[in-house]
Structure formats: structure tokens, C-alpha cells
Structure 1
């Protein structure tokens, strides 16, 4: 709240500040990066992208990066999602990190294989 004083009368004015969701999208597929950007923008958020885990680490290396959420692809060149996540945690990055992938191997396919009688 902001308070202004005019003589003996104080006026209080409510100041509403909406913080936009700030997301780092880490994916080697440009189509997937763009799709995530569109979704984040549609909910009023802002985003930055990285083409692989190494870029994500480098973005945080100088200490000036701060994201509410990191969408991290599983398989990428240079540094995969798991390795990048481990490195970011070692660097004390506290952003929520969600692993995403567009690939499905047999094990993952079976995890979603429902049988109905």
C-alpha cells in the first residue's frame, strides 16, 4: 500500500503489482521451444530459451538469472536434462525444474498402457 500525506489527512491507495511467471525453456527442438513459448505467453508469462542443458547452466553461471520455472528436456546434446538439473542444484539454483520430453521409449509407453476389462 502507498500512503500519501496532505496536512493532517492521510490517504491510502492500494497498489496492485502482478508478477509475471518467468520461465526458462530448455529444449534442443526449435518447434517444441516455440510451442512452450506460445503456451507461456498465453497465460501471461514471459520466457527465455536455451538450446541445451549447457546453455541453461551458462545462463545461470553469472548469477543474474532468476526464473520461477524451468522446463527441462530430458535428452539434449552437450548436456542432457538430468545433468543440467544436477549442475543447477549444485549452483544453488532454487527454481522449480520440471522435466519434459517428447520421446517415449518402451518403458515409458508401458507406464501409460491402461487395460480395461
Structure 2
């Protein structure tokens, strides 16, 4: 990271019809340009702004109302974890994908605890970065495979003595919601859950929203980990 000054926006600040609005946050100007070039290849994605630190990210989110924020972690001033927490506390929060060069366990946990729905490394294939934007915009989650595996392993270790707490929260769910949760815990998308349970995708989304509320978690990853702790999913 070279700590260059940020640019407030790109040349394309107007939302194309139906396009996903994305804010790029990174203290490296060249990284921001590279990410913008990747996203600009998709006609259904519009980069509405760029920010060089977390404080500017919050300001631009209020002004430009992005659907998804690609967030760096290590930045001067307000870091990406703090910025993610502030963004997710807004009345209409964007989805956040943390994108970093640092494949460190603690960043994964902190990002998810702050409300991020995705965690990718900057060497991720460009197509997967675009795919992550689409996935989290749809209310789902996407993690780098290595990060996901270690996250699950560590979560199991930290909660192996407290499965009763997870089961107590899951007991708040209806039988149908438990079926949805089991598939969610196995990594199924909303479309896959709908197909598997014979329901509309909009109904699945409503169930997932209720599940997150009942389990007192902020995203699908945390719900899946709660389910795994209680012995649900993981097939």
C-alpha cells in the first residue's frame, strides 16, 4: 500500500438501469484503478465512487448509496474493519466485501463480526471478484476458500463447549426455517434452497431474514457457523 490520496469518484457516477452500484475503498490509487477496470468489464456493474480511507468511504456511501462496497483493511486513519462496522450501522447499509492482501485469521473474524458478507484476497481471479459483488448484493455471502475453512475450524474450536447456546437459538425457528438453515449451512444459495424445498426464492429470502434475526447474527456466514455449532449442516 502506498497511501496515495484518494479520488472522490470515477467518471461514471450515474446508476445505469438495473446496474449494481459499487464503491471501491483502498488507500492505493493503482489498486482502485485496477479494481475499477475489472468491474467496468461487467455492463451490469457501475463503479459510482472511490475512497482512499474508511472515513471517506462512509461519507461517499451516504452521498452515492452504493449497493456493495469493496473494502481494503489496512488503511491510514479509519481502517476497513471500523469503516465496515460504521457502514453496516447505517439505516440503509450496503453489503461489504473485504478485499485484502493479508490472509490472516483475525482479519476474517473481525470483518465478519463487523458485518461484512464477503472476504477475498486481492489475488483472487477477476471474475470471482465480480461474482462476489453479485452474490453479496443478493444478500448472500462469499469467502475465500482457505479463509472459510480456517474460520469454520476455529469457530468449532471456540464454541465446542457451548453447543447448547447455539441449539437454544435455533429452537426459536419454525420447522421450515430449520430446513432452510440446514441447507444454508451447507453453502446452498437462495435459488438452490428454493429448488430443494419447492418454494419461491422470495420466500427463501424472507425465511433467511427471519433466521438471521432469530439467531441474532448479522449475515449468512454467522448463521451457518451457529448451525454447525449445533450439529446442523456440514454434509
TM-score, normalised by the number of residues in structure 1: 0.67
Residue 83 (structure 1) shift = 0.2
Q: Could you say if the C-alpha distance between residues 29 and 85 of structure 1 is closer, same or farther in structure 2, counting changes exceeding 3 Å? A: same
Cα separation, 1, equivalents of 2:87 and 2:68: 13
1:55 counterpart residue number? 56
Shift of 1:55: 0.4
The match for 2:68 is: 69
Q: Which sections of structure 2, spanning at least 5 residues, go unmatched?
A: 1-15, 108-144, 147-235
What is aligned with 1:46? 46
2-structure distance, mates of 1:73, 1:93: 21
Matched ranges for 1:23-102 at <5 A? 23-44=22-43, 45-47=45-47, 48-60=49-61, 63-102=62-101
**For residues 106 and 57 of structure 1, what CA distance do their matches in structure 2 show?**
25
Distance 2:66 2:105 in 1: 33
| Number of residue pairs the alignment of both structures matches | 94
1:38 is paired with a residue whose SS is helix
CA contact (8 A) 2:87 2:94 kept: no
Which structure's relative contact order is higher, taking Cα pairs within 8 Å and 6+ residues apart?
Answer: 1
- The alpha-carbon distance between structure 1 residues 75 and 23, as it changes in their structure 2 partners (threshold 3 A), is same
Q: Encode CA deviations 1:22-59: one digit per residue, 9 max, x unaligned.
A: 10000001111011100110012221100111100122
Q: For each residue in 1:63-107, what CA deviation from the matched residue of structure 2 results, as whole angstroms up to 9, or x when unmatched? A: 442112100001101110100011112223421100010234598
Q: Distance in 1 between matches of 2:33 and 2:93?
A: 25
Name the structure with the higher strand share.
Answer: 1
SS for the counterpart of 1:71 is strand
**CA–CA distance in structure 1, aligned partners of residues 97 and 63 of structure 2:** 21
Q: Structure 1 or 2: larger helix share?
A: 2
CA distance in 1, matches of 2:21, 2:94: 10
Cα RMSD (Å): 2.7
- Distance in 1 separating the partners of 2:106 and 2:59: 32
